[in-house]
Amino acid sequence: MIFIHPKIKKLISAYLDNEVSEKEKNLVEEHLKKCTFCRKYYEGLQKLSSTLGKYKEEELSPDLEQRIKSNFLGGKYKGVAKMKNKKLIFGISSGALAILLMFVFVGHMQNYLWRSTQGRLQNSADKGGIYEIEQYSPGLPFSYEKRKKFANYNVVRQPKANAYVPSVSNSVQHSGSSKLIKENERWVTTTEGSSANWSSPELGRGRYIKPLSTEAIESAAQEGPIVIVEPYLPATGKEDKLIRNAQATLEVENIQKVYDEIVKIGKGKNGYLAAANFNESTSGRISAQIILRVPKEKFEETIDEVRKLGQVKRFDINSIDVSQDYNALVSELNTIKTVYDKIADKLKEKKTDIQQAIRLESELTPIAKRIEAIRNKISEYDNLISVSTITINLYEISWKLMIQESVKETKQRFVAFVSGLLRNSINLLPVLVIICVVGVIAIVLTKKLIRAIKNLFSKKSS
Amino acid sequence: MMEYRAGSVDALEEIFQRYKKPILNYAFKLLASFADAEDVVGEVFYILTSRKDSYEPVAKFSTWIYTIAHNVAIDRIRRRKRVFFFWQKKDKDGNSYEELDIPDTRFMPDNYAEENDISAHVKKAIDKLPFQLKEAIVLRQYHNLSYEEIANVLNCSLSKVKILIFRAKECLRKELLPYMEEIR
């Protein structure tokens, strides 16, 4: 086996080229005396040097020399030098472009962070107001004060319909899914299975459906945190003067059949059909509007029966409390009646002369008119209160239309998806640019590192 | 060079006479193309005349001129690569191939005279070397530049030059081993 000392090997190469220090020179010479292998290597390199010396040098012929001379003196290579200038310009402009891109990117990122913060604050506002803001990550480039300000701004916005119902004024803080409880004339709610209209001057309007039973509500309250909201409660008091109406939108398979059923229900409840309209749209879909009037005692029963007739798309019940108006009218009627009776009594007296009688008569006429008007109004109210109005909109289920609608929806969703994708990729563009730049830098650095490590190892081994 | 800078036309003539051959051979060894080497000589002297004012006699003149030649040669190689990238030629079957250079028939072993046989092998071995190794060994072996001067030309450290020359010698030794035996 031929063994050559690796460190000496490199020194021998430099020694042959007279590129060693005095100390190294002595070291090599000493070693060569002792080591046969290294001496052979040294001889080999000497031979190599003489072999390389056999390379025949190229000569310049006089005409070639003349050509080169005339070329460089004649400025043939001007273009090459100019190209270097072009390179410089290209380098500078691409550098400037890179800086510009960086600025765009930084601006964009700032905007993005700002917007995402806004979004998160908005979200927190939806969930329950400014109190949650303090929980937000402190890593954002905004001060607490700024964020709070933001939150205050957002909290006045209307919360999402199905989001957590926000609390009002002195309400209980809540988190998680909510349920419903009545407490000191306030409704405490969770979103599960309940909905009714409610409104708050601070937070706009929200809605939930119908109250659960008290037992269910109380047990729900024990399960987790709850929220108090001010609901719009349907009035049920028997003594109250309430006008109650309902609007229902149903999807049915056969409109004619359902129409007959509604008429039957109306008759069964001692009600009557107030109006009915049938209509066929341009797409061939048949619809109808039926107005049913039933006595107020049968209102709930009728609603329950109507709801079973088809697929309920929308259902609204509203009550208008006219007690105040009604009572005002009644007391006004009583007062005027008293005045009327007094005048009438005076008129009946035998002492009155004709002139007086005419004056009293002319006084009585407007009062009688007013009494009539009030009576009419009261009977109108009585009618509206005693008989509730149920407006039923019917739509025929059309498979053709449903397919058309689903195709349309799919189309819309696809367009939304593609445009979203495009928008996102445009948004991501600066990020991609920076990733590319960082990637290139990383590759270059890694290569350099690997080279440095290799060099280190080769140095060590030699 | 300082004389030429001062305005002496004879000085330029002298520089040209002294360096035309070394630069031509240096470029030829690096680029393996006589036409390119010829252009390199022209370009080097064009740069030399156009930038004479930027010359400062801090280093040896030879180092300066070899540095110019080194830069021009590297520029040539880059341009060559770029041209091939855009103008890849296609054969009959539609496959692209690279026409690397115009072969210099004068140096083909077949056309070479018997006594020049070793020279052809040496050329072949040098051509096979990676560019950096080739440059270092050529400057050392054929242009007698010291390691320090080579470091200046290649714009690298002295230790790197040592390694480059050592590696180049190792490669050439392996490549030329059979022909070295012949000399013996």
Tell me how far apart the alpha carbons of residues B116 and B107 are, in angstroms, rounded to a whole number: 9
How many separate domains does chain B show? 2
Together in a domain, B97 and B124: no
Mean pLDDT to the nearest integer, B154-163? 89
Alpha carbon of A436: minimum distance to chain B alpha carbons (Å): 23
**Boundary (domain end) residue, out of A208, A229, A250:** A229
Nearest of A238, A240, A230, A237 to residue A183 by alpha carbon: A230
Nearest of A111, A88, A189, A365 to residue A119 by alpha carbon: A111
Give the pLDDT confidence score for residue A399 in this predicted structure: 75
Q: Does A144 lie at the interface with B, CB-CB under 8 angstroms?
A: no
Nearest residue on chain B to A66, judged by CA atoms? Answer: B42
Give the pLDDT confidence score for residue B113 in this predicted structure: 52
Q: Does B64 lie at the interface with A, CB-CB under 8 angstroms?
A: no
Nearest of B138, B88, B156 to residue A57 by alpha carbon: B138
Nearest of A332, A354, A357, A334 to residue A344 by alpha carbon: A357
Q: Between A and B, how many CB-CB pairs are < 8 A?
A: 106
Residue A80 lies in a domain: no
Q: Does B106 lie at the interface with A, CB-CB under 8 angstroms?
A: no
Together in a domain, B150 and B75: no
Alpha carbon of A65: minimum distance to chain B alpha carbons (Å): 8
The three-state (H, E, C) secondary structure of B106-165, written as one string: HHCHHHCCHHHHHHHHHHHHHHHCCHHHHHHHHHHHCCCCCHHHHHHHHCCCHHHHHHHH
Which residues of chain B have a CB within 8 Å of the CB of A77? 39, 42-43, 46-47
**Boundary (domain end) residue, out of A198, A229, A260:** A229
Q: Does A87 lie at the interface with B, CB-CB under 8 angstroms?
A: no
CA atoms within 13 A on the CB side of B162: 20
Give the pLDDT confidence score for residue A421 in this predicted structure: 85
Together in a domain, B85 and B3: yes
Q: Does A57 lie at the interface with B, CB-CB under 8 angstroms?
A: yes
Q: Does B46 lie at the interface with A, CB-CB under 8 angstroms?
A: yes
Together in a domain, A269 and A322: yes
Which residues of chain A have a CB within 8 Å of the CB of B34? 58
Alpha carbon of B93: minimum distance to chain A alpha carbons (Å): 36
Give the pLDDT confidence score for residue A460 in this predicted structure: 62
Q: Is the pLDDT of residue B9 over 60?
A: yes
* Residue listed under structure tokens 């563009």: A429
Residue of A13, A48, A56 with shortest CB distance to B180: A48
* Residue listed under structure tokens 């006595």: A295
Together in a domain, B18 and B40: yes
Test A75 with B163 for CB contact under 8 angstroms: no
Test A77 with B46 for CB contact under 8 angstroms: yes
Amino acid at B106: R
Together in a domain, B45 and B97: yes
Together in a domain, B68 and B135: no
Do A126 and A159 touch, CB atoms closer than 8 A? Answer: yes
Mean pLDDT to the nearest integer, B3-18? 75
Do A322 and A241 touch, CB atoms closer than 8 A? Answer: yes
Instruction: Indicate the burial class of B11 (C-beta count within 10 angstroms; 0-12, 13-18, 19 or more).
Output: middle
Test A60 with B21 for CB contact under 8 angstroms: yes
In what helix (H) or strand (E) does residue A181 lie, and over which residues does it extend? strand A181-183
Together in a domain, A255 and A320: yes
The CATH number assigned to the domain holding B167 equals 1.10.10.10
Mutation to test the B interface, candidates A66, A80, A86, most B Cβ within 10 Å: A80
Together in a domain, B7 and B27: yes
Give the pLDDT confidence score for residue A280 in this predicted structure: 84
Give the pLDDT confidence score for residue B36 in this predicted structure: 83
Token duo for residue A19: 């590129």
Q: Is the pLDDT of residue B136 over 50?
A: yes
Note the pLDDT tens digit of each residue in B102-122: 444 444 444 445 456 778 888
Q: Is the pLDDT of residue B86 over 70?
A: no
Alpha carbon of B109: minimum distance to chain A alpha carbons (Å): 13
How many separate domains does chain A show? 5
Give the pLDDT confidence score for residue A244 in this predicted structure: 83
Together in a domain, A294 and A338: yes
The runs of H, that is alpha helices, within A308-353 are 323-348
Token duo for residue A14: 């430099």
Together in a domain, A169 and A218: yes
Together in a domain, A325 and A183: no
Together in a domain, A186 and A117: no
Do A217 and A182 touch, CB atoms closer than 8 A? Answer: yes
Q: Which residues contact A16 (CB under 8 A, 6 or more apart)?
A: A42, A45, A46, A49
Test B119 with A75 for CB contact under 8 angstroms: no
Together in a domain, A286 and A385: yes
Together in a domain, B64 and B119: no
The CATH number assigned to the domain holding B82 equals 1.10.1740.10
**Boundary (domain end) residue, out of A203, A229, A255:** A229
**Boundary (domain end) residue, out of B75, B102, B129:** B102
Nearest residue on chain B to A56, judged by CA atoms? Answer: B119
Q: Which residues contact B60 (CB under 8 A, 6 or more apart)?
A: B149
Residue A177 lies in a domain: yes
Alpha carbon of B180: minimum distance to chain A alpha carbons (Å): 6
B145 compared with A66, residue with greater pLDDT: B145
Together in a domain, A266 and A375: yes
Q: Does A69 lie at the interface with B, CB-CB under 8 angstroms?
A: yes
Tell me how far apart the alpha carbons of residues A124 and A145 are, in angstroms, rounded to a whole number: 16
Do A372 and A337 touch, CB atoms closer than 8 A? Answer: no
Residue A56 lies in a domain: no
Tell me how crowded residue A209 is: count the other CB atoms within 10 A of its CB. 12
Test A54 with B162 for CB contact under 8 angstroms: no
**Boundary (domain end) residue, out of B72, B102, B132:** B102
B164 compared with B50, residue with greater pLDDT: B164
Test B20 with A13 for CB contact under 8 angstroms: no
Nearest residue on chain A to B148, judged by CA atoms? Answer: A19
The domain of A143 spans 85-155
Nearest residue on chain A to B142, judged by CA atoms? Answer: A53
Together in a domain, A272 and A331: yes
Alpha carbon of A430: minimum distance to chain B alpha carbons (Å): 29
Give the pLDDT confidence score for residue A462 in this predicted structure: 53
Together in a domain, A409 and A378: no
Q: Does A337 lie at the interface with B, CB-CB under 8 angstroms?
A: no
Together in a domain, A439 and A360: no
Together in a domain, B27 and B111: no
Residue A435 lies in a domain: yes
Give the pLDDT confidence score for residue A51 in this predicted structure: 83
Together in a domain, B184 and B116: yes
Nearest residue on chain B to A19, judged by CA atoms? Answer: B147
Alpha carbon of A100: minimum distance to chain B alpha carbons (Å): 28
Residue of A49, A58, A78 with shortest CB distance to B24: A58
Do A168 and A230 touch, CB atoms closer than 8 A? Answer: yes
Mutation to test the B interface, candidates A13, A76, A461, most B Cβ within 10 Å: A13
**What are the average pLDDT values for consecutive 10-residue runs of chain A, which has 462 residues?**
65 86 88 85 85 78 77 65 65 85 73 50 38 29 41 29 33 33 45 37 38 49 44 43 85 88 89 87 82 88 87 80 82 87 82 80 87 91 88 83 82 88 83 90 90 75 56
Residue of A47, A68, A75 with shortest CB distance to B183: A47
* Residue listed under structure tokens 């058309």: A404
**Boundary (domain end) residue, out of B78, B102, B126:** B102
Residue of B37, B122, B147 with shortest CB distance to A51: B122
Residue A422 Cα distances to A110, A391, A416, A425, B40, angstroms: 21, 46, 10, 5, 51
Together in a domain, B13 and B54: yes
Test B42 with A458 for CB contact under 8 angstroms: no
Nearest of B63, B160, B46, B134 to residue A458 by alpha carbon: B160
Residue A89 lies in a domain: yes
Q: Does B112 lie at the interface with A, CB-CB under 8 angstroms?
A: no
In what helix (H) or strand (E) does residue A389 lie, and over which residues does it extend? strand A387-396
Together in a domain, B96 and B108: no
Together in a domain, A269 and A293: yes
Give the pLDDT confidence score for residue A80 in this predicted structure: 58
Test B24 with A60 for CB contact under 8 angstroms: yes
**ipTM score of the complex?**
0.76
Residue A21 lies in a domain: yes
Residue A235 lies in a domain: no
Residue of A45, A55, A459 with shortest CB distance to B122: A55
Residue A62 lies in a domain: no
The domain of B165 spans 103-184
Q: Is the pLDDT of residue B84 over 70?
A: no
Do A144 and A137 touch, CB atoms closer than 8 A? Answer: no
